[in-house]
Structures are given as structure tokens and as C-alpha cells.
Structure 1
Amino acid sequence: MLLHWQECVFAITRRQQLTIGNLQLARGSCTAVVGNNGSGKSALARALCGELTLESGECRQQPAAVRLSFEQQQALIEQDWQRRNTDMAAEDEELGFTAAELLHAIAEPHAIDILCRRLGIHHLLERPYRFLSSGEGRKVLLAQALLAEPELLVLDEPFDGLDIEARAQLMQLLGELHAAGQSLVLIVNRFEEIPRFADQLGLLADCQLVRTGFPATLLADPIMAQLAHVEALQQIRLPAAPTADMDRAAFTGPLVRMRQLNVVYGEQRVLDRLDWEMNSGEHWHIVGPNGAGKSTLLSLITGDHPQGYCNDLTLFGRRRGSGESIWEIKQQIGYVSPALHLEYRVSTTPLAVILSGFFDSIGLYENPGDQRLKLAQEWLALLGMTAQAQHPFHSLSFGQQRLLLIVRALVKHPPLLILDEPLQGLDTLHRQLVRQFITLLMKAGSSQLLFVSHHLQDAPDGLTHRFSFIPEPQGGYSYRCERLD
């Protein structure tokens, strides 16, 4: 037996505890754990790795465990930012650490070479970590975890941020690790991500492990069936936009127009002679593999990419570089992405996060006024989070944080709503809820959507077009734009 817990209580915070009545992990087994946002899944991952204090109960064996999670990725980005933003940083440090630096600190080059080729990330080793996409960064952290050769590998939402092919490759790799005797715990939000080779399935609710058993038996349980098959939500009424945003000046022509657009990093051409426009009434789904250029495309539209000035790029009726400010662009946009979540490091509250969406800021630095405050409170009530209005943002679960950031993008009913992997980390109920929000906004006609997701089933109803990055045999990508039926 690798691990056996009986009647264990772990301290999460001074007021919150994780309760495990009985949990057994056999050597070489694979255990999958599911649960709603805030149910304690990430706390369980930390407890398995010896990161939480055991307050009571019997904990037999504590295996040498390594954890892979979004929080680790967030901490790594923060560490890199701190190292680069200091007067003492050397010239090479200003670029940030590379993937190779992370891996060479724990293993020999030969072992790194074999594993990175197996994971398909060998070409990423010399890139600064901060320039990797969310999915690419997750693969590097997986390599780091595997190179440590742990007795127990704990994977907290390992499939989030990966495209379809990468998810299938990871599932195959985990199956091979399991077959080779590696002990695994996979903590997932999506029932489709429970591996077929899992030996055991657990259900968490309210920071308690309430059920464990064979996957087939447990999935037939009424509670699990309810979680797996959430019925469609009834029609919801969304809070209005503030009066100031309702009076937003109109513009004519396409929201976005690109002509022969190029983005080049050194000798690498990321976008090559791209012609594309988004016209009134259109809602686009953007798809493509990790590293294809989706994030670069979005950064051009949000005004954050410097190469927008040297291209034929028109946003909201104005040619980029014609005297508009970046804030005039951001007033027209609501935006959510994994990168934004990583950057939201300020100490704040859920209410302030929603209010910051009115000002396009990370953190709240202005008096929002009575109307905006009332609207933000209505959004919190719609999410069922009124009681958490003044709690620390970073004390909430990852899914609750992401849900608040999505609402932050919706509050002003922007002309253009850009959602980059918005459902990443959300459980079934919250994914249904967010899709309903997005669909209602689209039906209201006040916002047009750019939606990026590797999960085709995440796309909301009402999308009219698809923009696809198509890998070319000789390298690089071509582009396909199509109307959806």
C-alpha cells in the first residue's frame, strides 16, 4: 500500500479544513478525483504532497509526491517577473528563464532530451518560459515533474489549456506511465477526462471526500450522474450595462480588419500575410494547435502587440497608429485569457474584480459610483457568490477565480468580447452557466464574440464563423475562414 488515510482532517486555512474519511492508494494505481469548484480538489492535491498540516486522524505512509497545478504555473510566472524587474538583473536574466533552465536543474541532459522528445517539447527548451503558451508551459512543468521520478505523481487539471491532439497524447502518456507502474492521482473537472485505465474514482464536495469506488460503479450513482449530466439552465436575465457604456459612440465598418498582416520574431514568422476581417453581427470561433499564433492574433486586436503599428490593422473603424490610445481600444473590448488570470496577482476582493472590468484595470483604483457598484452586486448574486463579496480573491478556488474574471469581461456589455479558453478549470455546472451568459449577451446584440477553445463542445450557441490555423507539411500555418451552418 502506497498511502492509507483514515478519519484525517487537514488544515487548509485557519477556518477551513479538508476531511478524508478513508482513502487508500495502492502502488502503481491510478486514482481520478472529481468535484465542483470550491469542493477541495486542489487542497487534496496539496495534502497528498504533504503540503497541508494534519490536524487529526491516521496517516499511514507519506509517499514522495510531486504535484503539477495551475498555481505552480502562476507562481513560476511571478518568480520570473520578480527576477526580470529588478535593477540587479543581468542582461540574460532580463529575458527570463528558459524551459531548459528549469529542467537542467533537476536532471541530466540525456534524460531531458529523451523525455522532451517524447512530450513533443524539445523545440521549446531554449525559449523564455514567459513566451510559451499556457498549454506549452503546462507540458514543461509535466516534464519537470516526471524528471523528479516521484513515487506518486499528482496532476491537478493536467488537460486544461491543451488542444485535442495534445490531450490525446497526454492521456496516452499517462496510460503508459500507469502500465509501467507509476502511481498517479488525476484531479479533473471534466468527466470526459477520467482515464479509462483509472482503478479508483473519488468525489469531493464541501472539502470532504464523500465517495470512493470503482469508476463504473460510482459513475452510476445518482449524485455522480447529476454532476455529469447537468440539465440546461433556465433563461436568465443579465444585469444591464452602465449608462455611460450604453451611450458608447458607434462606429461603421468591420470591428477588425487585417490586410497582409505579418508578425515576425527574429527569423520566426508567426503570422504570415494574414487577410481577415470581422464584420457586424459575426461571432467567430478561433481554433488551432498550441503555439500556432492564436494568442498573437488576440494581442494585436487588444492593442497589446507592438507590431500592430507597422501593419495594415484597423480596429473599431480606426487604423492602428492613427492617434488612438490603447485605452480607447480597451474600452470596446471585454477580455479573458489564461494569461490574464496568471497576471491577476493583486490583493483584492471578488466585488473589486468585477468592478475593475468597468475600468479595464487589474485591481480597482477608482471610485466606481453607486450604479456600477449595484450592477457588480447583481452579477455576484447571479453567480451565487454574494457571501464571498469581501473575501480575498486568491483564497477562492481556481474555478471561482476564473468565473469572476469572465464576469469582469461581461459587465460593460462590450462591442467585442474576447474569450480565450474561458471555461478552463470550470466544472460542468459553471461551464453551462458561463455558456448561457455568453449566449444571452450574443442574443442581446450588444456584443460580438471571439471565442478560443480547444474543446469544441465548449463553444456557445450562435457562433457564425470559424477561423482555423492549419499546420503545413513544410512548417508554419495557413488560414481557413468558414461560415458555420
Structure 2
Amino acid sequence: MEYQWHEARLALGGERRLTIPALTLLAGQQWCFVGSNGSGKTALARALCGELPLCQGRAPVITGALRLSFESQQQLMAAEWQRRNTDMVGEEEEAGYLVSTLLLEQGDEAEARHWLRRFGVEALWSRPLRFLSSGEGRKVLLARALLAHPTRLVLDEPFDGLDQDSRRDLAALIGELAEAGLALVLIVNRFDEIPTGATHLGLLSDGCLLLAGARAEVEGSAEVRQLMALNRTAPPLPPPYEPPPSLPPGPLVQMRQIRVAYGAQVIIDGLDWTLLPGQHWQITGPNGAGKSTLLALITGDHPQGYSNDLTLFGVRRGSGESIWQIKRHIGLVSPALHLDYRVACSARTVILSGFHDSIGLYVTPGDRQWALAEQWLNLLGLAGQGEQPFHALSFGQQRLLLIARALVKQPPLLILDEPLQGLDPLNRHLVREVLARLIATGRSQVLFVSHHPEDAPAGLTHRLCFVPDAVGGYHYHQGALG
């Protein structure tokens, strides 16, 4: 089947448009589209599924296409939250969506279990959706999409949140699906995530499909060579908002024999770990190992923190401190925070909310807070976008704002869980440089989680590794970086 766009302009809301000068998708072709943050990648994904109204030009009528994206994951989590927060809450609603419930809505059990097994996550069958890691959630949603048997599957940033082995497995699965005849389109921001089997490439810039054609032709273009070679140098860091808080001497975080379990499913078992002053830790391990759970214990967002021997900033967890007393010492970026940031607000408001550790802003900011928010907008290349609605921006631009939200108060502890998800090469370089400068100031200590080793900023001093053992659990290897 042939789908063709010619001089097409499609509405994105307000005056914004996506322009597709010329694009033809033919049976047997495997397309991958690349672009920087805000270039229009997600808009193109929507267009390829027939979701955008045509303003002028020619566009095909598309049926049977399915799009899998961060937006669809966020919508599912919002529905899950509503399910658990009704006035009439039964046992099933309290648990929220189980993985099994979610998949059985779309297909039969045998096929659902087949796809979970193919992704190596069949053990998640009875797990509540809200307890999945970012990578586990991606795998479950992809299994759900495949159960729908779409005529075309558009994967918007499918590798985000997946560890190295899972990315390799997904790339292999994409190849298998393509060979089986499924029409696949990938939207990515990393050139190294372009599948080897992609036959055609497209390059987006400023809401326009700049180039589209055979892979060799596009890869050899001057535009792609320039994009792959560019670097950005970060301007100086904005000053801190206030002097560093007075903390008691000793470790910022101390954990003894930590155990976290959901029924018979043990996530963390017997972990001893201490974060001493001056240390900056990289935390590594596969999807589902417990990395995000560990961070949630520190931020106060996990209820099992109360039942464990956990000391934060010199105070034993559960000794009467409030969650806000904990959070005022912490800056956080994580996939879970991004999913939860569903309030309607401006880009500037997102940064300002970092002063108060809130989702949305419920107090009037002072002049100095306002000025610092502007400086962070300028530093991250978002000058002039302060009044833009947060959810009208691209995923990558949203992630930049959440990074600024975490950094704006330059807290004693900065927790970065997959912070560079969704960022293009230029912005990844920029954020790494900003983090390296912040580490060098000695004001903030960093916990950094990423499945991409190359994403780690300079200045990390120690590593905690979650290493699978032979019986399905994990060992915890830790020590100084050489």
C-alpha cells in the first residue's frame, strides 16, 4: 500500500503547523525519522497515524495505524491514577491497573504472555502498572500495541528508558517484525538508535520534514553531517538562589539491610549503602533491578521507606520528619516525575515550581525567583518560550524544563534518573556540561542513573551496580571509580 504526502501542511493547534513537502511510504520500506528537540518528531508520528487535520496540500487517509509514545504512556498513567482515586474504591481499583488487566483488554492471554516472554518480563504479569520501572513500562506498552495487530506501528522514541541489553533485544525484535511484513516507522533523536534494517531516513527541523529518502542519500547529506558534528558550549551557571542549607555532619544518605518487596516479588534485598559528603554516584543495572525504587526511598516517595533502616540528612526515616522536609534538600528529574507533571501551566512555571518541590505553582514567585527562571530558560536554549504551555512543547523541551526545575535551587542532593531521555545530541552535550560544572562547584552531590554510559557527566566519583545473580535476584557492587 502506498501513502503519499505532497506540499502538506497539518494543524498542530493554534497557528502551529507541520510541513511535509514530499513523502511517500511504500510497502517493504522501513523508515526512521531523526530530529532535534522541538523539530516536530512527535507531530510527524501523529501525522503518520492520520491524527492531524490537513490545512493544505495532499495527505492520505490512514487506517489501522497505531502510535506508541511517551504521550500515550502518560495518558495511560493518568487513567490509572483516576481509577485509584474515585470515591467508591474497591479492592481492584485500589490496586490500579495490573499488567495482566491491561494486556487482556487488548488480546488473549496466550498471545499476551508470548510478548511478555519475548521481552523477558513475563514475571510482571500480576504486577500493578504503577510499580513498574520506566523500562518495564515501555516493554509492557509495546506488547500491548502488538496485541492490537496494527497495519503500521509508529514507535516514537522506543529505546528511551531501556537498558543496553533491552535496546539490543528491541532492535532485534524490530528487525524480526519488519521481516514478517509489519510496516514499522521509528522516531528517534540519537543517530546511533537508527536500526541497521532501516531502508529510508527522514530529517526534521523547525516543524518541517527537511529531507526524506533512501538511507544512503540522507546520511550523506550536508545537513546530517552538520547535525552530527555540532557542539554547544553552556553559558555560565546562574547563581544559587540562597546559601546552602545547614546540614548535620556525616552521610547524606545511609541505608542498612534495605529490603523492598511486593508480596513474593523482592525488588531490593539486603542493600547496605552510604552516600558520604563529596561523593557523586553513578547507579547502573538492568530494567527492573530496583534503581528507581532506591531513588524513591531517598525522595520519600516510596512507602516502604518507613519500614527500613534509612537515614536521610542526619534524620532517621519515620522519626517525625515530613516529606517536604526531605524534598527541600533534593532536586529530582525522573521518568516518573515527567509522567506525573500533568498540570496545565507555562514553561516558566515548571522551573519556578522547583523552588517549592511542587507539581505546578501555588504561591506567587518573588522577583529573584522569576529572574533565575529566566536565566535557566536562556541557558537551556528556551529563551522566549517562558509563556508557552508546558504540554505544547516537545518531549525533549519538556525534559529540559524539568532538568532546570531540579537545578534551579542547586540543592545538596541532585537525583537524576535517566535525565537525558528524549534529548537530541546537542542538548545531551549541553546538559552534561552543565552537570559537570555544577559538580565542580561542590554545592550539589549527584546520583546519576542512565542506561547509556556515554551520558554520564564528568566528575562522578563512585558507582553502585545492580548485578543479576543466578537465582533471579541481584548483588550490589559498589566502589570508587578508577
Q: Number of residues paired by the alignment?
A: 482
1:281 Cα deviation from its structure 2 partner: 1.1
1:445 to 439, 442, 447: 442
Deviations along 1:227-270, one digit per CA (max 9) or x if unpaired, are: 22333x43521111113xx1511321111111222223222222
Letter in 2 for 1:94: E
1:255 maps to: 252
Q: 2:359, 2:234 → 1: CA distance?
A: 31
Deviations along 1:85-129, one digit per CA (max 9) or x if unpaired, are: 111333212211112222212222222232222222222122111
1:372 maps to: 369
Letter in 1 for 2:199: D
After TM superposition, the structure 1 = structure 2 runs for residues 304-315 of structure 1, keeping only pairs within 5 Å, are 304-315=301-312
User: Is the contact between residue 8 and residue 19 of structure 1 (CA under 8 Å) also seen in structure 2?
Assistant: yes
2:432 matched to 1:435? yes
Q: 1:221, 1:165 → 2: CA distance?
A: 31
2:335 to 314, 324, 338: 338
User: Is the contact between residue 241 and residue 412 of structure 1 (CA under 8 Å) also seen in structure 2?
Assistant: yes
User: Is the contact between residue 159 and residue 167 of structure 2 (CA under 8 Å) also seen in structure 1?
Assistant: yes
Deviations along 1:34-55, one digit per CA (max 9) or x if unpaired, are: 0111111101111111111012
2:241 maps to: 242
CA 63–200 in structure 1, closer or farther in 2 if over 3 Å, else same: farther
2:279 maps to: 282
1:429 Cα deviation from its structure 2 partner: 0.8
Range with bigger deviation, 133-142 or 404-413: 133-142
User: Is the contact between residue 2 and residue 63 of structure 1 (CA under 8 Å) also seen in structure 2?
Assistant: no
1:369 Cα deviation from its structure 2 partner: 1.1
Stretches of structure 1 lacking an aligned partner (at least 5 in a row): none
2:392 matched to 1:395? yes
2:118 matched to 1:124? no
2:453 matched to 1:456? yes
After TM superposition, the structure 1 = structure 2 runs for residues 61-460 of structure 1, keeping only pairs within 5 Å, are 62-231=62-231, 233-234=232-233, 236-243=235-242, 246-460=243-457
Deviations along 1:337-362, one digit per CA (max 9) or x if unpaired, are: 00000000111111111111011111
2:481 matched to 1:484? yes
1:331 Cα deviation from its structure 2 partner: 1.1
Letter in 1 for 2:192: E
User: Is the contact between residue 469 and residue 480 of structure 1 (CA under 8 Å) also seen in structure 2?
Assistant: yes
Letter in 2 for 1:291: G
After TM superposition, the structure 1 = structure 2 runs for residues 460-475 of structure 1, keeping only pairs within 5 Å, are 460-475=457-472
1:19 Cα deviation from its structure 2 partner: 0.8
User: Is the contact between residue 50 and residue 61 of structure 2 (CA under 8 Å) also seen in structure 1?
Assistant: no
1:476 Cα deviation from its structure 2 partner: 0.7
User: Is the contact between residue 11 and residue 55 of structure 1 (CA under 8 Å) also seen in structure 2?
Assistant: yes
Deviations along 1:256-302, one digit per CA (max 9) or x if unpaired, are: 11122222322222221111111111110000111111111101111
Letter in 2 for 1:372: Q
Q: 2:128, 2:140 → 1: CA distance?
A: 12
CA 242–19 in structure 1, closer or farther in 2 if over 3 Å, else same: same
Identity of aligned residues (%): 57
Deviations along 1:412-446, one digit per CA (max 9) or x if unpaired, are: 11111000000001111111111111111001110
> Cα RMSD between the aligned structures?
1.4
User: Is the contact between residue 201 and residue 218 of structure 1 (CA under 8 Å) also seen in structure 2?
Assistant: yes
Q: 1:327, 1:311 → 2: CA distance?
A: 19
Letter in 1 for 2:464: F
1:382 Cα deviation from its structure 2 partner: 1.6
User: Is the contact between residue 3 and residue 63 of structure 1 (CA under 8 Å) also seen in structure 2?
Assistant: no
Q: 1:125, 1:59 → 2: CA distance?
A: 40
Q: 2:56, 2:481 → 1: CA distance?
A: 57
What SS does structure 1 have at the residue aligned with 2:203?
Answer: strand
User: Is the contact between residue 4 and residue 61 of structure 1 (CA under 8 Å) also seen in structure 2?
Assistant: no
Q: 2:241, 2:61 → 1: CA distance?
A: 57
Range with bigger deviation, 147-156 or 261-270: 261-270
1:323 Cα deviation from its structure 2 partner: 2.9
User: Is the contact between residue 9 and residue 55 of structure 2 (CA under 8 Å) also seen in structure 1?
Assistant: yes
Normalised by the size of structure 2, how large is the TM-score?
A: 0.97
Letter in 1 for 2:476: Y
User: Is the contact between residue 189 and residue 423 of structure 2 (CA under 8 Å) also seen in structure 1?
Assistant: yes
User: Is the contact between residue 244 and residue 412 of structure 2 (CA under 8 Å) also seen in structure 1?
Assistant: no
Q: 1:317, 1:306 → 2: CA distance?
A: 19
1:182 Cα deviation from its structure 2 partner: 1.4
